Amino acid sequence: MTEVPVGVRRPQRADAARNFDALIAAAREAFAENGTDASLEDIARRAGVGIGTLYRNFPARQDLFEAVYVEEINKLNGVAEAVASLPPWQALTTWLRQFVEYAATKRAIIEAMNRESPMFAACRKSMYAAGEPLLTRAQAAGEVRPDATFDDVIRLVSGLTSAAFIDAAQRDRVLNLALDGLKVF
């Protein structure tokens, strides 16, 4: 699976790469907690770096949004590779559960991104290329409804992620209800 490139580049020097990764992790947390209005100063503080380091890596706020988004897509794609050897239903549901986790971060920054951009299109294409074979394999095994398309499944699960849940247990119960609708019994 090819990683989706982002407009900013991860530094090669080990210490600079650690700072870059720390900024991505801190931004992911801050955006999930505070949305796109998260303070860049807070992100730098969370990452344990100065604001100058943040701006050196991400000259514009948009660069940080895109880097976090692409990082999440690349992580999701990696999960598809990691679960591919599991039994078909287990592989698909494991990936979809990771998709739900990804969607929480995505929701926080999606409005700030240009959905018509080549980067956004590349991310979508990459995510579909990673996840669709899992659905196809589960359908071929007779475990998933044959009339469900991958786009249907993504929309179903995405719809669930837009709801406010009492806690993670409730979110998991609702996801299990949705997955039961896909399963062939």
Q: What is the CATH number of the domain that holds 80?
A: 1.10.357.10
Q: What region does 130 belong to: left with phi over 0, alpha with psi -120 to 50, or beta?
A: alpha
* Within a domain: 159: yes
Q: pLDDT tens for residues 132-171? A: 999 999 999 999 999 999 999 999 988 887 777 888 889 8
Query: Does some domain include residue 137?
Result: yes
Is residue 40, in this structure, part of any structural domain at all?
no
pLDDT at 96 over 70: yes
144 DSSP β-pair partners: 183
Write out the residue range of the structural domain in which residue 173 sits: 62-182
pLDDT value at 118 more than 80: yes
Q: Is residue 31 part of a domain?
A: no
- Please report the pLDDT score of residue 105 as a whole number: 60
Would you say residue 76 has pLDDT above 60? yes
Whether residue 167 is contained in a domain is answered as: yes
Give the H or E element holding residue 10. Answer: none
The stretch 99-109 carries a mean pLDDT of 74
Rounded to whole angstroms, the Cα distance separating 14 from 35 reads: 30
Whether the per-residue pLDDT at 89 is higher than 70: the answer is yes
Q: What is the pLDDT of residue 104?
A: 61
Burial of 118 (0-12, 13-18, 19+ CB in 10 A): exposed
Flag whether 131 is in a domain.
yes
**Per-residue confidence at 1, pLDDT binned at 50, 70, 90?**
very low
Percent of the chain with pLDDT over 90: 55
pTM, rounded to two decimals: 0.82
- Mean pLDDT for 80-86 is 97
Q: Considering its fold, how many domains does the chain have in total?
A: 1
In a domain, 18, yes or no: no
Distance in angstroms (rounded) separating the CA atoms of residues 103 and 54: 24
pLDDT exceeds 50 at position 130: yes
The angle at the Cα of 122, spanning 119 to 29, to the nearest 5 degrees, equals: 60
pLDDT at 6: 56
Residue 138 covered by a domain: yes
